[in-house]
Amino acid sequence: MTKAEKKDYDRKYYTENRERKKAASRAYYAVNREEVIAREKMYSVLNREEILARKRKYYKSNKEEIRVKNDAWELANAKQMKAWHKAYHIKHREKLNAKCKAWYHANKNDPNFAKQKNKYNMDWRRKRRASDPAYRLLCDVRFKVLRILKGRGKHLPTVRLIGCSPRNYLSYLIKPYPGKTFKQLRDEGYEIHHVVPCSSYTENPCPEQLEKIFHYSNTQLIPGTINNQIRCKAFKYDSKDEHFEFSF
Find the mean pLDDT for residues 123-148.
Answer: 90
Is pLDDT above 90 for 14?
no
What is the pLDDT at residue 78? 87
- CA dihedral for 87, 93, 95, 96, sign (positive or negative): positive
The predicted pLDDT at position 112 comes to 84
Nearest by Cα to 196 from 136, 128, 247, 152: 247
**Is-contact 169 202, C-beta < 8 A?**
no
pLDDT tens-digit series, residues 209-222: 888 999 999 999 88
What is the rounded CA–CA span in Å between residue 230 and residue 246?
A: 9
> In the beta sheet, which residues pair with residue 220?
193
Q: CB-based burial of residue 16 (10 Å sphere; 0-12 exposed, 13-18 middle, 19+ buried)?
A: exposed
Report the run of H or E that residue 243 belongs to, with start and end.
strand 243-247
- Domain chopping of the chain, boundaries: 81-131, 135-247
Identify which of 153, 164, 174, 150 has the alpha carbon closest to the alpha carbon of residue 214: 164
How confident is the prediction for the chain on average, in pLDDT? 85
Q: What is the pLDDT of residues 64-121, one digit of tens each?
A: 999 999 989 988 998 899 899 999 999 999 999 999 899 888 888 887 888 888 888 8
Q: What was the pLDDT predicted at 241?
A: 42
* Residue 231's pLDDT band (cuts 50, 70, 90): low
pTM of the model: 0.55
Helix axes 33-46, 48-61, angle to 10 degrees: 80
pLDDT value for 246: 38
Q: Compute the distance between CA of residue 184 and CA of residue 120 in angstroms, rounded to an integer.
A: 29
Element (H, E) at 146: helix 133-149
User: How many H-runs (helices) and E-runs (strands) does the chain carry?
Assistant: 15, 4
> What angle in degrees, to the nearest 10, is found between the helix axes of 48-61 and 63-76?
90
Q: What percent of the chain has pLDDT over 90?
A: 38
pLDDT of residue 16: 86
pLDDT digits (tens, 9 = 90+) for 168-192: 999 999 999 998 888 899 888 899 9
C-alpha to C-alpha distances, 89 to 83, 94, 99, 136, 218, nearest whole angstrom: 10, 9, 12, 27, 39
